[in-house]
Amino acid sequence: MNSQFKNSSLGFYLYAFLIVIIVAAVAFVFWFMITGYKLGTYEENTLLGSVYVGGLKEEEVEPIMFTRIDRWLGDETILFEAKYQGYSYAFNRELFDFNITQSTQNIVNGKTNQLEVYFGGSKKQDIIRELKSLVFIQGIKENIDYDSLVDDVLRDASLMKSYSVKNFEDYLIDETLSYEIIGSEIIYIPNSVNIDSLIAEVELVYEDGKILIPSKFHYDIIDELGGLLDDKELGVLSSAFLKLILDTNFSINEVHYENRITSNGNYTIDDFPYFGFNSIIFERENESFSFYNPNEGYFYFELVKVEGSETQVQVNLVGLPFVNQITADVVKTEIDHITKITTDENDTKSGVNGVVVEVVRIITNIEDYVIYNQVIVFEFYPPEVEIILEP
């Protein structure tokens, strides 16, 4: 009987069906072990704010989010600020209102989702009033898009970022309303330099004639204008640029100067006009003039020909006015020349006293404290010996 059953077609089909059931069961176990447990959960790579929720069930998300937001709010290392010229305003993160329920309902699988966060009631307007009252932005306070600034801060909070710093310079409504001439210098052009050609050559590089100094930019005059202007033209511009940036917070990286007073038009110490901003260029020797703009805002130089003059150009430095008071004092220390005696009247010559020149930059903050007091330019003009006939 059993032998007949085994050899029958029915037996074959029953055995085959049993094997299929076993294989299907094993396959289901493996599938469940790998992915099946995720049924009813969020997919991989799903984040809410900065919290990874992939693999979590919907009911598990809210309590985890409350815990993580409380931890985020209590983390003192997290920075949310608005800054201007070294001064800052810290946003109180305790004022953020999070709607966790709505945030959870809006989750899209497989992506980073923003939390629903806002300033409830009058909080937003209170914060804007605080921003407008900041002493360090008084010069630009009427030209700031506060709504956009606050909205961007909320956007960073919706992602639970650990670092959010907004620069007021990036939220100016109209830059032309706040930018102004912060320094002006009339430079004298040597006969070997044609004013019109100089301005025209500059405009070949800068179409609008504005010599742009971008934010956080190291400006090297040879890199920018070398090859187009010759050494004399570059020297004229670099001397003007140097004088104009003395009363700023720009750092001076490289400057070379002619260290003989008499070779610059037979000046004396009393009437030598270039102390502190005597800059010369030797492009072939790669002796350039360079400086760095550390500010968030850009600046630019503009050249304006003095009407009716073929020897003068006005150079303006244009940008956002500085909050701090910045002054540069030129300190001269005279060095007496020595005298020698000769018996040959052809060897006689006048002596010239030497001088040590130090440009001292002093920066005073809005609380009237000196926060910077250093020499930024050093020049040494050696004395020239006087030779007189032997009595």
Domain boundaries, the chain: 2-38, 47-175, 179-389
In this predicted structure, what is the pLDDT of residue 5? 47
Query: Pairing mode, if any, of strands 325-335 and 354-364?
Result: antiparallel
Q: Quick one: tokens of 378?
A: 């050093």
In this predicted structure, what is the pLDDT of residue 24? 63
Based on DSSP, count helices (H) and strands (E) in the chain, helices before strands. Answer: 10, 20
In this predicted structure, what is the pLDDT of residue 264? 56
Sheet strand arrangement including 79-84: 87-90, 79-84, 163-167
Q: Quick one: tokens of 310?
A: 């073929």
Instruction: Please choose, from the candidates 145, 232, 239, the residue with its C-alpha nearest in 3D space to the C-alpha of residue 197.
Output: 232
> What is the phi/psi pair of residue 356, to 5°?
-100, 125
In this predicted structure, what is the pLDDT of residue 188? 83
The C-alpha atoms of residue 180 and residue 177 are separated, in whole angstroms, by 8
Residues in the chain: 391
The C-alpha atoms of residue 155 and residue 130 are separated, in whole angstroms, by 20
- Residue 275: C-alpha distances to residues 122, 268, 327 (Å): 57, 11, 16
What does 147-213 look like in DSSP terms, one character per residue?
A: HHHHHHHHHHHHTT-SEEEEEGGGGBS-HHHH-EEEEEEEEEPPTTS-HHHHHHHHHHHSTTSEEEE
DSSP E strands in the chain: the ranges are 47-48, 51-52, 79-84, 87-90, 97-99, 112-113, 116-118, 163-167, 180-188, 210-213, 217-220, 251-254, 290-293, 299-305, 312-319, 325-335, 339-342, 354-364, 370-381, 386-389
Per residue in 255-274, pLDDT (tens digit) is 999 888 765 556 778 888 88
The tens-digit pLDDT sequence of the chain (391 residues) is: 555 545 566 666 666 666 767 766 666 555 544 554 444 588 888 989 999 998 888 888 999 999 999 999 999 999 999 999 999 999 999 999 999 999 998 899 989 999 999 999 999 999 999 999 999 999 999 999 999 999 999 999 999 999 999 999 999 999 989 999 999 998 888 888 888 888 899 999 998 889 999 999 999 999 999 989 999 999 999 999 999 999 999 999 999 998 887 655 567 788 888 899 999 999 989 999 999 999 999 999 999 988 888 788 899 999 999 999 999 999 999 999 899 998 888 888 888 889 999 999 999 999 999 999 999 999 999 998 989 988 7
Amino acid 296 reads E
